Amino acid sequence: MTDDLKFNVSVIIPVYNGGISFRSCLSSLTQAVTPFTEIIVVADGDSDGSWLVAEEFGAKVVKIPVCGGPGKARNIGARAAKGDILFFVDADVVICADTISKVLKAFENQRDLTALIGSYDDEPGSSNFLSQYKNLFHHYTHQTAKEEAFTFWGACGAIRREVFLSIGGFDESYRRPSIEDIELGSRLKAAGYKIQLCKDLQVKHLKHWGVVSLLKAELFYRAIPWTELIWRSRNFSNDLNLDIRSRLSTLFVYILLGALITAWWWSGFIVVGLILSLLLLKLNLPVYRFFYEKRGFWFALGVIPWHWFYFIYCGFAFVFGTVKYFLHELFKSKLAIPSIYKHNLQKISTRL
């Protein structure tokens, strides 16, 4: 390949200590690339030699000495890319042999398409319960969502390079894997660009989730900053994790908690709790049916308490993020007051 070769697709992978999963990711890419595909790996301050693995697979490597976060790494990769389409892939996913051809076909068939996203498949790489539950739930959420998307997704998302650069790329203030992709999608939609969810574009997630890692990521890197973004953009879309069913379930779970606590003093509230439990089961029956079909009865039964716990911590995160956002806005407005007075005083002194 010469330096002036024109590419159709530039695959961009940010990596920080990718380990075995990263090797699997690169191995899958070698089965999917075409002569007009380039692979760019941005080694984001990694210390495990991931960049050497990338060179071993023939990828173009850009090294950052200090970790700056996936948003910054993807932006650096985009500026180094030569493809018309930027295809962002996480270092812990495996793509299919026809993934890149599907991406190209989607953009070729829809000239008005700005960006597209896929989903995780229904065969997660890690076998423990939480990893299976989390990744399958993600698969279900995307597979039942609207095809006209309101968000972007960095794990498997493609966008026209000229639009990506013109809109400013990812927000680099997110120093950890967070909602930098959702924030990008919010700006794209606000600017009138079209984002499509391609449900047949699926990748395998290899990440192992534990209790601490899951809750830490869900609360501090996703739910709370996403709540702040919702208030900034005023985008309360009825889709994905924000659909009406999820909002009602969160409300019912908290009422259920209140009923169970009250039942400690007044046993009649046990009946109220039972009714609310049945409502929650009925409301989320499609979810539990999905898990039953994929992993059987006992797995689906184990999903229910975790799913309800999910509504509990998401509700907490929304309240916490809302309070945090409005306190920040209040603090900014108070800081602005002295500057207004100063400006008025300057105007008066100028007139005198």
Q: Quick check: 136 and 294 in contact, CB under 8 A?
A: yes
In angstroms, the first-to-last Cα distance of the chain is: 71
Torsion sign across C-alpha atoms 342, 344, 345, 350: positive
Cβ count within 10 A of residue 54 = 28
At 171 the pLDDT is 94
**Cβ neighbour number for residue 262 with a 10 Å cutoff:** 15
Q: SS3 for 148?
A: strand
Q: To which residue do tokens 């090294």 refer? A: 63
- The HSE-up count of residue 350 (CA atoms within 13 Å, CB side) is 6
Question: Beta strand 156-160 with 7-15: parallel, antiparallel or unpaired?
Answer: unpaired
Rounded distance between C-alpha atoms, residue 72 and residue 44, angstroms: 9
pLDDT of residue 267: 78
What pLDDT, on the 0 to 100 scale, is given for residue 266?
83
Structural domains for the chain: 7-209 (3.90.550.10), 242-343 (no CATH)
- Tens of pLDDT along the chain (352 residues) come to 445 555 699 999 999 999 999 999 999 998 888 888 999 999 998 888 899 999 999 999 999 998 889 999 999 999 999 999 999 999 999 999 999 999 999 999 988 999 999 999 999 999 999 999 999 999 999 999 889 988 999 999 999 999 999 999 999 999 888 899 999 999 999 999 999 999 999 999 999 999 999 999 999 999 899 888 888 877 666 556 667 888 899 999 999 988 888 888 887 778 888 999 999 999 999 999 999 999 999 999 999 999 999 999 999 998 999 998 888 878 776 665 455 444 443 443 344 3
Q: Hey, which bits of 191-348 come out as E strands?
A: 194-205
Q: How many Å apart are CA 347 and CA 352, to the nearest integer?
A: 9
Is the pTM above the cut of 0.85? yes
Question: pLDDT value at position 159?
Answer: 97
pLDDT of residue 34: 82
Closest CA relative to residue 225, chosen from 77, 332, 71: 71
Order across the sheet with 60-64: list the strands: 60-64, 37-44, 7-15, 83-89, 156-160, 113-120, 194-205, 93-94
| pLDDT, position 246 | 87
Q: Nearest Cα to 226, choosing from 90, 94, 318? A: 318
